[in-house]
Homo-oligomer: A and B are copies of this chain.
Amino acid sequence: MAESVTAEYVARVFEEVKNWGKWGNDDERGALNYITEKKRAAAAALVRDGVQLSCALDFPVEPSPDNPHPAQHMMVVAGDACCDPRAPGLQMSMDFIGISFHGMASSHIDALCHVFVGKQMYNGFPAEDVLSTGATRNSIMAAREGIAGRGVLLDIPRLRGVGWLELDDRITVDELEAAEKEQGVRVDEGDILLVATGRDARREKLGRWPAFEEGLAGLDPRCVPWLHERKIAVLGSDGISDMLPGLGLEDWMMPIHQCCLVAMGVHLLDNLDLGTLGAACAERNRWEFFFSVSPLRIDGGTGSPVNPLAIF
């Protein structure tokens, strides 16, 4: 951990953690392959009291400093005109939603085609495979059957005894391991790892902020080898796992995104709401749970808005 984070360091790590070819040259599922049916069944066995909660933010229709491209929600027909022309005997309301979901206020999953390094995606597919008409490789359809398995939450503000991490804070491997120890849980092969930075609490207290400009706490790039060793299947955060604005490393603006999505084939969950989950874990002193994510089946999609569920 003493090694300093340079572009050369990240470039070397990127090569070291590559899972390209590990699950075949045509594989598009990447680390989702770590979630075996056996592991999924074991995760379901974690359910005891049946309490269920959402880890998503509300659909982000309001413009705000962290949401310059708000989503759309419009009624197609409301209660004032509640007759579908196709169905004269029926009174109904309908609406429309639209979203470019890779924003900073949207709980979403990144498909493996979302990021390129050197114009390549996970498993070596070229950026050109992501056409203006949709991704022909590594689209979110790789997760079309849904993702369900063991979720593990590492709550860093709790470990540090603070309400939230500051905007330029970075989370180290030592902290991840200290959180494991403190919480009595160990991140293991096939886990869906969630790392809390307290962003929800900060937002509630201080309001929304433009994360690209003002910053966002996240994982030190030196966590990448650790994530690789632990063989996580998915990585999620209430931030975007990466620190913003990053370390100023040319070509490595978001090393976590770049190493996870491109090298390791680890899908990412960005902008979750982990506050409720953290409280539920703390209440039970149990930091593992059944966790499911069901992306929309968007052919050629670069991800999906999601509402991930945790069940205790």
Question: Which A positions have Cβ atoms within 8 angstroms of B?
Answer: 36-42, 44-45, 47-54, 56-59, 61, 63, 68-70, 72-82, 86-102, 113-117, 119, 126-135, 141, 144-146, 148, 212, 246, 249-254, 257-258, 290, 292-309, 311
Q: In the bound complex, do residue A80 and residue B78 qualify as a contact, i.e. CB atoms below 8 Å apart?
A: yes
A296 CB to nearest chain B CB (Å): 5
A52 to B35, CA, bound (A): 11
- A-B pairs with lowest CB-CB distance, top 8: A89-B253, A98-B98, A41-B50, A37-B50, A79-B127, A44-B47, A63-B68, A78-B132
Are A253 and B301 interface neighbours, CB within 8 A?
A: no
Known: A44-B47, A294-B309. 11 other contacts (CB 8 A): A41-B50, A59-B299, A63-B69, A73-B300, A74-B75, A76-B100, A77-B133, A79-B128, A93-B302, A97-B296, A294-B308
Partner of A92, one of B47, B69, B114, B251: B114
Residues of B near A48 (CB, < 8 A) are 41
Q: A47-B44, A96-B99 are in contact. Are A299 and B91 (CB under 8 A)?
A: no
Q: Which residues of B contact A78 (CB under 8 A)?
A: 78, 80, 130-132
Which of B76, B79, B87, B129 interacts with A129 by CB under 8 Å?
A: B79
Copy total for this chain: 4
Contact (Cβ within 8 A) A41 B49 = yes
B72, B93, B132, B295: the one contacting A77 at CB < 8 Å is B132
Q: Which residues in B have their C-beta under 8 angstroms from that of A98?
A: 72, 96-99
Contact of A91 among B52, B115, B135 (CB under 8 A): B115
Minimum CB–CB distance from A84 to chain B (whole Å) comes to: 9
* A90→B115 contact, CB < 8 A: yes
Name the residue on B nearest A110 (C-beta).
B92
Q: In the complex, A144 Cα to B90 Cα: how many Å?
A: 26
| Cα distance A116–B78 in the bound complex, in angstroms | 11
> In the bound complex, how far is the Cα of B117 from the Cα of A309, in angstroms?
33
- Which B residues are in CB contact (< 8 Å) with A257? 90
A93–B135 touching, CB < 8 Å: yes
Indicate which residue in B39, B92, B114, B131 contacts A94 across the interface (CB closer than 8 Å): B114
**B296 and A81 contact, CB distance less than 8 A:** no
Does the CB pair B92–A116 fall under 8 Å?
Answer: yes
Distance, CA A303 to CA B93, complexed state (A): 10
Q: Which of B90, B306, B307 touches A253 (beta carbons < 8 Å)?
A: B90
CB distance from A261 to the nearest CB of B (A): 9
CB of A52 to closest CB in B, whole Å: 6
- A68–B66 Cα distance when bound, in Å, is 12
- CB < 8 Å: which of B74, B86, B308 contacts A96? B74
A87→B61 CA distance, assembly (Å): 19
Contact B45 A47 (CB under 8 A): yes
List the B side residues contacting A59 at CB < 8 Å.
296-299, 301
| Minimum Cβ distance to chain B for residue A93 (Å) | 5
Q: Which residues of B contact A73 (CB under 8 A)?
A: 134, 298-301
Taking the nearest CB of chain B, how far is it from the CB of A65, in angstroms?
10
Q: Which of B126, B249, B298 contacts A79 (CB 8 A)?
A: B126
